[in-house]
Chain A
Amino acid sequence: MARNWWIRLVFFKILLAVSVISLVPSLTGMDPKKWIIEKKINLGLDLQGGLYMVLGIDFNKVYRDELITSVRKADPFLRQEGAMSASFGELDVKDPADPKQTLIIEGDYATAIDKLKAYYGYSLRIVKEEGQSVTFGLSRDYLREMEATAVERSIEVIRNRIDEFGVTEPEIMSQGQDRIVVQLPGVKDITRAKDLIGRTAKLEFRFVNSTVPQAQLEEWVAKATAAGVKYEKGQRFSEYTDKLNAYLKDDLPKGFLLFFQKETSKVTNEITLMQPYLLEEISPLGGDALQEAVVRIDQQQNRPYVGIDFKADGARVFEDITGKNVGRLMAIVLDGNVFSAPQINEKIAGGSAQITLGAGDYNSLLGEARDLALVLRAGALPVELEFQEQRVVGPSLGADAIQKAEVAGLIGALLVFVFTIFYYKVAGLIACITIISNVILGMTCLMALGATLTLPGIAGIALTIGMAVDGNIIIYERIKEELAKGVVAKEAVAIGFNKAFWTILDANLTTALAGLCLLNFGTGPVRGFAVTLLIGIASTVYTSYFVTKLMFDWYVRNNRQTVSI
């Protein structure tokens, strides 16, 4: 045989061997950690049970609320500034995506407008001025920014809360511009999950112990890790910090606890940053003392900052604690996670404070300020989420479905094999080997890509079995035609493969186009079908042309005169 053939053979054999080895845990149900290749095919929610939710954001409502909250502040502000006041006029929601609110100003109009412009900065725009009345709308930049950050920020908050639920492989992603899909495999308690996602987060302020160097904190964490107290994926994060603090009880200074600033990768779900903080055990002030937190812009330096206002009693506590702790850092802790730790520069009286931000260009500071304001504002989700769709699948339904589909798939495959061998003899046998390797390679691909196998996905595999023979049939019918013309076997085979190649490719590419549209269309189970269909198409083109050719080249070696086809 030609050298080129041996190379192709070895390539195929290695590919197949690796595939078979890597599929062992998935097929036998054995623990992948005990095997050479520690991977298993991900089963979709419909197969392993769990909770699937689609959360929607009603942006029109978000805009309206935001506008009204902002404009409401005009009256107290103007009164404070001097002999002026403002009263609410008409709310115009003809364009729900761009609501407009009219204010009627009493007092000197020109002064009032200048003051308001400076006060609102970039967030509002003036739509219309008429006599003593002025109409505000949200500025375009602000609208766009809200749109861009709302989904992303909501996902972060949800992820944080899901961590508390202890799910191993949660999937939280955006869909379109105003929807978030949450998938929690293995979770059955829909009410608890929904409460957790929808609840208001807990916001607290805690003083930082800066006398202990950061290196010491890291050392403590490392010591605990060495002793087996470490965070494991799927564990509740608060459980970990509780254990950690219990373990380090004798090392930590009295009255202080370890907290973390934690960031999670949106793609891999892995924690990318875990910076420890040593914070006071007792929080002197909770988020409920806050009245308002907004992004403002320092006109002189043109720098964004966050302005916070406390409620009356909160203001007294704040004045007291800031007076006693000038120069210390005060951590803003949301749901047990440190978000930021600004320094107290002076005693702050009157219930209003400014949180200035570190270095950075205008836009990045603006983004940071907005995030911080959102965290402070309610500690809650930046926008209200509506539960649009939810599906719970019990674990036994999936097990039943897998079993039935597997049996049916095997019988279907067997029928195809019998039919093909009966019709094409030796060539039919070759086709069957092709199909088997096709399914093996396809499943390995599915696993390697980390894609999820769903029930419609199994349907996709079954369909691939039915349709994959097509490639072989196209080739065989060509070879038969050439043989009928009286062409010798080896040549007929060569011509058959040559002519069939583009047909196979064209036919499969058009199916792939439909598959791509489907992939784009859905999430969850239907997406699973598109994935297996597409993978099936790729493996079909490889196996039904190249693998079949490999075997045929061997079959017609030594210028064989007849082919059993």
Chain B
Amino acid sequence: MSKAKMNIDYVSLFKICIISSLVMVGIFLAVFFQKGLNYGVDFRGGAEIQVRFTDTLDTSALRQALEAAQVPISSLQAIGDDNREVLLKVQSDKEDLNKASASVGTVLAQQYGEGKFEILKNDIVGPKAGAQLRTSGFQAMAWAMLAIMIYLALRFDYKYAPGAILATFHDVIFIVGVFVLTQKEFSLQIVAALLAVIGYSVNDTVVIYDRVRELENELPGTEMKTIINRAINETMSRTILTTATTFMVSMVMWLMGGGVIQDFFFALCIGCISGTYSTIFIASPVTIMIDRMNRKKEEVSVHSTKSAVRG
């Protein structure tokens, strides 16, 4: 491996990055207001039934049978490659979800006969539970960020906290944004993934801050900009390596993990990239900014004491 010191001036890239991040957020918001987030059954309420058949299936025949029995199916989707599995969704506010999902069972038994199919999964989430899960999910994220902010302020210095939080905020928006763009289903597991990314992204930020703090002690009086640049450069190989290993595992799990796990790791893959980016290009400039404001304040106060002595 090359032992040459990397020395890239990341700080000078900050402006471009902040602007492009803002543009990105703008696009996400625009699409969000147009299409919205595709909430899964956990958050939206409704019923979801996954069925596997012993023989290959004609989905349109199944749809007709369900419609004939007046089961309020909102979507019917074949999953897997072998055409033996379907995911049925019942989305209705007034209909009794229990009754609907029970009648799906009856229709299937009539149409295909007992033993010809297996109900793999049957989720029924009432509207109240859905709303409940939604609030507690967002609460968990808010609490996590608050706790991390307090921890950073106590362990490091309060000037480090806002940068780290903005960075994690960026990651959350980024992942949710990709889910808005792709219209992938946003489920409970994705909230778990978001929290994992929050932890992971702060992890990255802490490593850089740790180096910044060390360099501040070693080189007192040096400009924050220089210190941060050096810290990023010195920790860059670690950043790349850790991102690489995490990304590798996430990618394999995303492509091969199957079912529920796939979307979870899809979110993590995005989080890996976003987390590294936000650490360098969001957390750092914000820290520089706050440091600059601090120094100005200090200068002003030094100034005023001087003039007071003179006067």
- Return the CB mask of A503-543 against B: 1 if under 8 Å, else 0: 10011111111111110111001100110010000000000
Chain A residues near B238 (CB, 8 Å)? 470, 473-474, 477
Q: Are A477 and B206 in contact (CB under 8 A)?
A: no
Whether the pair A456, B260 counts as a contact (CB closer than 8 A) is yes
* Known contacts A388-B129, A397-B120, A525-B189; A514/B249 CB under 8 A: no
Q: How far is the CA of A328 from the CA of B257 in the complex (A)?
A: 67
Task: Contact check, A510 vs B245: say whether CB atoms are below 8 A apart.
Answer: no
- From B121, B147, B199, B248, contact of A393 by CB (8 A): B121
Does A394 touch B at the CB level, under 8 Å? yes
Partner of A503, one of B3, B143, B207: B207
Asked if B123 is at the interface (CB within 8 A of a chain A CB), the reply is yes
Given A407-B256, A502-B210, CB of A514 within 8 Å of CB of B195:
yes
Whether B192 pairs with A529 at a CB distance below 8 angstroms is yes
Give Cα A423 to B242, complex, Å.
12
Question: Cβ of B204: which chain A residues have Cβ within 8 Å of it?
Answer: 507
> A459-B257, A477-B235, A514-B202 are contacts. A503–B210 as well, Cβ < 8 Å?
yes
A196 within 8 A of B: no
- Cα of A269 to Cα of B132 in the assembled complex, Å: 28
Binds A, one of B66-74, B133-141, B282-290: B133-141
CB-defined contacts of A459 to chain B, threshold 8 Å: 253, 257, 261, 264-265
A323 to chain B, nearest CB (A): 49
Which residues on the A side are within 8 Å of B188 (C-beta)?
Answer: 522, 525-526
A30: CB under 8 A from chain B? Answer: no
Of B56-64, B148-156, B221-229, B302-310, which binds chain A?
A: B148-156
Alpha-carbon distance A503/B200, docked complex (angstroms): 14
Which one of A20-28, A71-79, A256-264, A408-416 is at the interface? A408-416
B248 & A415 in contact (Cβ 8 Å cutoff): yes
Complex interface: chain B residues within 8 A of A408 (CB): 252-253, 255-258, 261
Say whether B261 contacts A396, CB under 8 Å: no
Q: A388-B128, A400-B258, A509-B151 are in contact. Are A462 and B249 (CB under 8 A)?
A: yes
Given A394-B121, A401-B261: A507 and B189 interface contact (C-beta under 8 Å): no
State which of A388, A510, A520 has its C-beta within 8 Å of the C-beta of B143. Answer: A520
Q: Which of B76-126 contact A (CB under 8 A)?
A: 98, 102, 118-126
How many residues of B are counted as interface, with CB atoms below 8 angstroms from the partner's CB atoms? Answer: 73
A396 and B118 form a contact (CB under 8 A):
yes
What total of chain A residues lie within 8 Å of the partner, measured CB to CB? Answer: 73
Interface of A is mostly: helix
Q: Which residues of B contact A516 (CB under 8 A)?
A: 147
The answer to whether A413 and B249 touch (CB under 8 A), given A389-B124, A419-B244, is yes
B19 at interface by CB-CB < 8 Å:
no
B7 to chain A, nearest CB (A): 14
B residues 1-45 touching A (CB-CB < 8 Å): 1, 3
Contacting pair B151 A513 (CB below 8 A): yes
Judge whether B192 and A510 touch: CB under 8 Å.
no
Residues of B with C-beta under 8 A to A439: none
Nearest-CB residue, chain A, relative to B244:
A419
Q: Are B102 and A423 in contact (CB under 8 A)?
A: no
Q: Are the C-beta atoms of B143 and A415 separated by less than 8 Å?
A: no
Which residue of B129, B241, B249 contacts A423 across the interface (Cβ within 8 Å)? B241
Instruction: Find out whether the CB atom of B137 lies under 8 angstroms from the CB atom of A514.
Output: no
Contact check, B122 vs A391: say whether CB atoms are below 8 A apart. Answer: yes
Total number of residue pairs linking A and B with CB closer than 8 Å: 231
Residue pair B122, A510 in contact (C-beta under 8 Å): no
Using known A-B contacts A392-B121, A456-B264, A522-B188, determine if residue A513 contacts B144 with beta carbons closer than 8 Å.
Answer: yes
Give CA–CA (A401, B245) in the complex, Å: 23
Contact B136–A522 (Cβ < 8 Å)? yes
Write out, one digit per residue, whether chain A residues 39-59 have a CB within 8 A of any chain B CB (1) or not (0). 000000010000000101000
Q: Is B175 an interface residue (CB 8 A)?
A: no
B258 in contact with A405 (CB, 8 Å): yes
A121 CB–B CB distance under 8 Å = no
A467 at the A/B interface (Cβ < 8 Å)? yes
Is the pair A510, B98 in contact by a Cβ cutoff of 8 Å?
Answer: no
In the bound assembly, the distance between CA atoms of A191 and B102 in angstroms comes to 9
Check A513 against B147 for contact (C-beta < 8 Å): yes
Known A387-B126, A518-B195, A525-B188; contact A404-B257, beta-carbon cutoff 8 A? yes
Of A54, A511, A530, the residue contacting B200 (CB under 8 A) is A511
Check: A272 CB closer than 8 A to any chain B CB.
Answer: no
Query: Given A400-B259, A506-B210, A507-B210, list of 17 further CB < 8 A pairs?
Result: A190-B122, A388-B126, A388-B132, A394-B120, A408-B261, A415-B249, A459-B264, A459-B265, A463-B268, A466-B246, A466-B247, A467-B242, A470-B246, A473-B241, A477-B238, A477-B241, A513-B148
Residues of A within 8 A of B (CB): 46, 54, 56, 179, 190-191, 386-394, 396-397, 400-401, 404-405, 407-409, 411-413, 415-416, 419-420, 423, 455-456, 458-460, 462-463, 465-467, 469-470, 473-474, 477, 481, 484, 499, 502-503, 506-518, 520-522, 525-526, 529-530, 533
- What are 21 A-B interface contacts by the 8 Å CB criterion? A390-B122, A392-B119, A392-B122, A394-B121, A408-B257, A413-B249, A455-B260, A459-B261, A459-B264, A460-B196, A477-B238, A503-B210, A506-B206, A507-B204, A507-B207, A510-B148, A511-B199, A511-B200, A514-B199, A521-B136, A522-B136
Instruction: Across the A-B interface, give the 7 residue pairs with the lowest CB-CB distance, nearest first.
Output: A511-B199, A404-B258, A466-B249, A521-B140, A514-B199, A412-B249, A408-B256
